[in-house]
Structure 1
Amino acid sequence: MRIQCRSVYRKRLEAVVEIKSSADKVYSLISREHHNVPKASSDNIHDVAVHEGDWETSGSIKLWKYTIDGTVESFKEKVEIDDANKKVSLTALDGHVLEKYKSYKIIFQVIPKSNQGANVAKITLEYEKHNESDQLPNNYFNVVVNIIKDIDAHLIAS
């Protein structure tokens, strides 16, 4: 007999953001050019540094410093890059967000326009609460959505 246990506290938030810049350029920046994110979104991201690996390889670990609700926090993540689907996953390994949530994973997927549609970035935040009464991570999710908007505006301006 096989029993599968699933936490009732595991949730996800999703958003789709229309992007006006090149889908390839957005994907390149969020997959292999994290060092440029503070330039594109300086109000949100202050620094990104490689902790293990490099800027371009799946499995690399990076340290982020960002502001959330007026407080500077840090985020240590492991990146997974899926070029075939233009998808990037950032899984939290350490940092302030894990004090609030048991697990935290950001997934970006850039979808190039088809036919007459627009390029879009799909953003998914998968998280697991410690307790059902814990707050939703709406503030974190809003920052992530704003980072994609900032990246798009930065690329258009460059």
Structure 2
Amino acid sequence: MQAFGGKVQSEVEIQASAAQFYNFNRKQLEHLPNISTNINGAKGDWQNVGSVKQWEFTIDDENKAITYSVFDGEVSKNYKSLKAIIQVIDKEHGGGGIVKLTYEYEKQKEDITGLSPQSILEFGIKVTKEIDVHLVKN
């Protein structure tokens, strides 16, 4: 059986500090639907019993990295696996940080009908910028 896997990645410069951005993703992700018009909660308020999140995640505080394994919803119709890896680093000079976005995937088949890996990456870049704007304003 042929595998249809790969990886797409990008870096996004942010004005918020690396710590701010990482802590938002680490501890306040339930606020994302209020920040981005592109995100909807799966079910519930993301905090209480009965809430549904459509991913598992692994946290690496030392490297300010979180790996999300998406396994449900629209993604599962076209992908056997999809991992979103977000790592935030401080800029070497000046304030702000850099968000490294990496998406590792394995498609169900070569030609999929849903979102392409590149469009998923572009979506991640857009949401990253929306989070940054929110963090800088608040």
Structure 2 length as normaliser, TM-score? 0.84
Q: By how many angstroms is 1:127 displaced?
A: 0.6
Q: Identity of aligned pairs, percent? A: 31
Q: List gaps (5 residues or longer) in structure 1.
A: 1-5, 53-60, 64-75
Aligned to 2:17: 22
1:107-144 deviations in Å (ceiling 9; x for gaps): 10001112358510000111101122336322222211
Query: Residue 8 of structure 2 corresponds to which residue in structure 1?
Result: 13
Contact 2:18 2:96 in 1 (8 A): no
Which structure is higher in RCO with an 8 Å CA cutoff and minimum separation 6?
2
| Structure 2 residue aligned with 1:39 | 34
Alignment root-mean-square deviation, CA = 2.4
**Cα gap change, 1:46 to 1:130, in 2 (>3 Å):** closer
The answer on 1:144 being equivalent to 2:138 is no
Deviations 1:73-119 (A, max 9, x none): xxx10011100100011101221101011111111000111235851
Alignment of 1:129 with 2:111, yes or no, is: no
Higher strand share: 1
Match of 1:73 in 2: none
The C-alpha deviation readout for 1:31-54, integer Å capped at 9, x for no partner, is: 12111212221x1112262588xx
| Runs of 4+ off more than 4 Å | none
